[in-house]
Amino acid sequence: MFDSKTGQLTIKTLPVFEPLLEPARYKGVWGGRGSGKSHFFAELVVDEHVSSRGMRTLCVREVLKSLKESAKLLIEDKIQALGVGHLFEVQKDRIKDIYGGFILFEGMQDHNAESIKSFEGFDRCWVEEAQTLSERSLALLRPTTIRKAGSEIWFSWNPRRKTDAVDAFLRQPKPSNAIVVESNWCDNDWFPEELEAERQLDLKRFPERYDHIWEGGYAKAFEGAYFAKLLNDAKAEGRIGLVSADPLLPVRAFFDIGGSGAQADAMAIWLVQWVGQQIRVLDYIEGVGQVLAYYVHELRARKVNPICYLPHDGINANNITGKRYRDHLEEAGFDAFTIPNQGRGAAMMRIEAVRRILPSCWFNEKTTEAGRDALGHYHERRDENRNVGLGPEHDFSSNASDAFGLMAICYEGPDEPETIDELFGRRHRHTPPTRSTTTGY
């Protein structure tokens, strides 16, 4: 509270946030719901303006359509709760203090490299919901804009994906001039009963999303995702861990073909082995805008000489070389096959095939993380007005999911009958112990 005699503001701080009271160029708090991270930074903003003269603070989000979405109301509430309302003047679009300082609220998407320069003289910048911050916006903030001597940039966020700009910047690894802490509900001494009831409900009814919402884990499953529960089951049953290849059985590479341009879809490749009743998912490769030679190099680097399975467009000519994708792989020394188009409803056929085989899948945790993230996100696009499904959403998760679906279409268990050679119009060069009834391999 505020002591009018000394002019000092005393705020009780949770132990988890105490390291952030020390000066640092970058400060970050990541974690799940109910951790108190927004309340901590809102109180810190108020404290900085009470204890300093002429303090300028910028509160930003990636997108800010209305001030109702900003931290403005939370900071206003903190000003009153801390008993310092007489030191501030709340205006429509900003908050001013009596010492010549002020607090502004902005959306980063509303600015470019020129307009953002107007904030060069600011002392503090708090990025709310930083998991949505784009790489472009992060580059505009640092080192371009907030660069005054002694200035600080604060981030608070609930992690979404490891590849998000804020995670890549502050956690992989953490810069030497940053203080970053994890805070979750269990670190909040004032965690309310209402939120505890909500947490218990999610733990019981929605376990696939609980870790992301409450424990600060990366989002492994999108709401309504096709494979969310099955991936959660794989984790609970210990089927995501250290998985190695059987040296006596072939490794298979299943592709979804992207392009070589900057705006092209990603190329996705799953490396899999069929071992008895198990499907061992060994590795995942993805790239955007790379030539095919890049993926050939990646496959050779793994020293597994896989049998390559391409979707029906594997017989299309490469835009750069004019050769078919399959031809390139065969010239590189790989056995390569093109799987015929499944026709109308192919996407849903792949989805249902994946649902059937996922209980038999064992994932090598470290090398398949990016691919599993995509599988967990793959979801249906919906018409909310009519409440009808419109088929799979095409986004970053589509390529990995399509390649995995191709594997599921090709897979048959060891007790299934062998395929006929006429499917490819040629006899097979070798017959592995476990084979697909679609391809014979």
Residue 293 burial (CB < 10 Å; 0-12/13-18/19+)? Answer: exposed
List of long-range contacts for 150-153, beta carbons under 8 Å, 24+ apart: 150/23, 150/123, 151/25, 151/122, 151/123, 151/124, 151/125, 152/23, 152/24, 152/25, 152/26, 152/27, 152/123, 152/124, 152/125, 153/25, 153/26, 153/27, 153/124, 153/125, 153/127
What's the whole-number mean pLDDT along residues 198-218?
90
Residue 58 CA: distances (Å) to CA of 18, 40, 80, 104, 122: 22, 16, 20, 5, 7
Check residue 433 and give its pLDDT: 40
Measured distance CA(336)–CA(305) in Å, rounded: 11
pLDDT at 344 over 70: yes
Mean pLDDT for the stretch of residues 280-289 = 93
**pLDDT at position 321:** 63
> What pLDDT does 429 receive?
34
pLDDT at residue 419, rounded to an integer:
44
Provide the pLDDT for residue 173.
87
Average pLDDT over residues 140-166: 92
pLDDT of residue 421 exceeding 70, the answer is: no
pLDDT of residue 3 exceeding 80, the answer is: no
Dihedral sign for Cα 419, 420, 424, 428, please: positive
Look at phi and psi of residue 272 and say left if phi exceeds 0, alpha if psi is from -120 to 50, else beta.
Answer: beta
* Coarse DSSP helix, strand, coil percentages of the chain, rounded to the nearest 5 percent: 35, 20, 40
**Is 437's pLDDT higher than 60?**
no
User: Which residues lie across from 308 on neighbouring strands?
Assistant: 253, 336
Lowest pLDDT segment from 118-127, 308-317, 333-342, 348-357: 308-317
Beta-sheet strands, E only, within 209-319: 240-241, 252-256, 266-275, 278-288, 307-310
- Mean pLDDT (whole number) for 134-142: 92
Token pair in block for residue 355: 């649902």
Query: What is the rounded CA–CA span in Å between residue 106 and residue 70?
Result: 8
What is the mean predicted confidence (pLDDT) over 12-36? 97
pLDDT at position 427 is 34
User: Percentage of the chain with pLDDT > 90?
Assistant: 63
pTM of the model: 0.65
* Higher pLDDT, residue 150 or 391: 150
pLDDT at position 45 over 90: yes
Q: What is the dihedral of CA 222, 226, 230, 236, to 10 degrees?
A: 0
pLDDT at 415: 53
Mean pLDDT, the chain, rounded, equals: 88
Per-residue pLDDT reduced to its tens digit, 55-67: 999 999 999 988 8
Q: How far is CA 196 from CA 35, 145, 201, 233, in A?
A: 12, 40, 9, 25
pLDDT score, position 180: 98
Residue 97 pairs in a beta bridge with: 88
Phi, psi of 261 (to 5 degrees): -90, 165
Give the residue-averaged pLDDT of 339-355: 88
Assess whether pLDDT exceeds 70 at residue 318: no
Q: Is the pLDDT of residue 91 over 60?
A: yes
Per-residue pLDDT, 431 = 36
CA atoms within 13 A on the CB side of 202: 16
User: Which residues, 6 or more positions from 296, have their beta carbon under 8 angstroms from its beta carbon?
Assistant: 328, 329, 332
Rounded-to-integer distance, Cα 398 and Cα 374, Å? 7
Is pLDDT above 70 for 218?
yes
Type and span of the H or E element at 381: strand 380-383
Distance CA 104, CA 264 (A): 39
Tell me the three state secondary structure of residue 299. Answer: helix
Query: What percent of the chain shows pLDDT beyond 70?
Result: 89
> Residues 345-374: what's their mean pLDDT?
94
DSSP string, 34-66: TS-HHHHHHHHHHHHHHHSSS-EEEEEES--SS
- The residue type of 344 is R
Q: Which two tokens stand for residue 130?
A: 């930083």
Contact 52, 212 (CB under 8 A): no
pLDDT tens, residue by residue, 228-276: 889 988 988 999 999 999 999 999 999 999 765 555 678 999 999 999 9
The pLDDT confidence band at residue 314, using thresholds 50, 70 and 90, is: confident
Whose CA is closest to 400, among 233, 246, 278, 226?
226
3-state secondary structure of 343: coil
* AA identity, residue 270: W
Confidence label for 223 from pLDDT (cuts 50, 70 and 90): low
Domains of the chain by start residue, with CATH: 2-187 (3.40.50.300), 240-423 (3.30.420.280)
